[in-house]
């Protein structure tokens, strides 16, 4: 692969720092690297490839000479800088939700729809973390027989809310052990020893914005415009790695054996499915790596053409940083 000039927009956040780590691990062909963030982070030094990269303030002039910009910033900054990135001739691989549903912006999971990356006009979107993990797990089944509908419940780690989510859970656990009052800032309720059945804002139909992403993004990535998904997103007191329970209905019956074989051979997946020996995907086993573990595959007892499964994946890596860099690899191959 030819060497390219890369910038990370939002380099000091949890996903931005992970992008630096993954770029190094995957030996991405970086010629020059810019770490961009807000003015308050200017001068901060971040480790990269045995050395350090010094954080610069993100301005509209920051993208001149860049080939790829990896976005790890929130929607407002993504929208603010996207025109300057495209004008500079770089490709913006954006992890925010700002452009995911734009008709002219590809939404990519490289194991599923890499060919869509060729259709970009300067911006490519990284899907929602739970969407990436779930679709990576079920895409092989969709190739066997098209998926008609899914019922999903996500059990999302606190790191999905950023570095502050991790700190809040850890602090609450320590305060609980010390008999101190538990304070909350990141989450609306105490997260230690609790689950919170809301992630995202109320959309007015009883579902949150996070829950609707599974259907809306899933339709685009899988090229299934009629796909119906009902989803419940729950924040759980787990540090890292999201878990998802999925029941799907396909056009024709897929047997459990057929499903296991398809998933075992699917890119980005690892079959971990032996209930008798208590072997199944768990957050502790799937953290800090890039494979989606899939197990608990069984017939849905309510629908003849249904299957249920359980999957886990690291939402900071495969659900964000690694998926973005895999997209960048598609661009430079």
Active site residues: 129, 242
Strand partners, 156: 235
Pairing of strands 30-37, 51-57: parallel
Instruction: Tell me the helix, strand and coil percentages in the chain, rounded to 5.
Output: 35, 25, 40
The string of DSSP letters for 112-138 reads: T-GGGGGG-SSEEEPPPHHHHHHHHHH
Packing angle, helices 129-144 and 256-264, rounded to 10: 120
Task: Give alpha helix (H) positions in the chain.
Answer: 14-25, 75-87, 129-144, 163-177, 209-222, 256-264, 283-286, 322-332
Going by C-alpha positions, the residue among 220, 295, 311, 216 that lies closest to residue 260 is 295
């Amino acid at each position: 692969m030819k060497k390219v000039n890369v910038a990370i927009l939002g380099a000091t956040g949890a996903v931005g720092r992970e992008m630096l780590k993954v770029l190094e691990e995957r030996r991405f062909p970086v010629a020059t690297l810019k770490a961009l963030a807000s003015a308050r982070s200017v001068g901060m030094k971040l480790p990269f490839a045995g050395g350090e990269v010094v954080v610069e303030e993100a301005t509209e002039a920051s993208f001149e000479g860049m080939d790829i910009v990896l976005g790890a910033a929130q929607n407002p900054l993504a929208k603010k800088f996207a025109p300057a990135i495209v004008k500079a001739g770089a490709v913006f691989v954006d992890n925010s939700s700002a452009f995911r549903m734009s008709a002219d912006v590809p939404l990519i999971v490289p194991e599923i729809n890499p060919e869509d990356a060729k259709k970009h006009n300067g911006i490519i979107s990284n899907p929602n973390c739970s969407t990436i993990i779930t679709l990576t797990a079920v895409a092989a089944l969709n190739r066997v027989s098209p998926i008609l509908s899914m019922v999903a419940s996500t059990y999302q780690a606190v790191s999905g809310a950023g570095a502050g989510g991790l700190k809040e859970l850890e602090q609450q656990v320590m305060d609980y052990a010390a008999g101190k009052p538990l304070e909350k800032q990141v989450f609306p309720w105490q997260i230690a020893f609790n689950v919170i059945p809301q992630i995202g804002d109320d959309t007015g139909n009883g579902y949150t914005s996070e829950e609707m992403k599974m259907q809306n993004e899933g339709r685009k990535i899988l090229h299934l415009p009629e796909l119906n998904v009902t989803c419940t997103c729950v924040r759980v007191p787990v540090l890292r790695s999201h878990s998802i329970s999925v029941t799907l209905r396909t056009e024709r019956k897929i047997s459990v054996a057929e499903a296991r074989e398809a998933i075992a051979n699917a890119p980005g997946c690892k079959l971990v499915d032996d209930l008798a020996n208590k072997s199944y995907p768990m957050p502790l086993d799937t953290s800090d790596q890039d494979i989606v573990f899939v197990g608990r595959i069984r017939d849905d007892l309510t629908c003849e053409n249904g299957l249920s499964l359980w999957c886990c994946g690291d939402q900071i890596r495969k659900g964000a940083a690694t998926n973005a860099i895999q997209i960048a690899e598609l661009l430079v191959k």
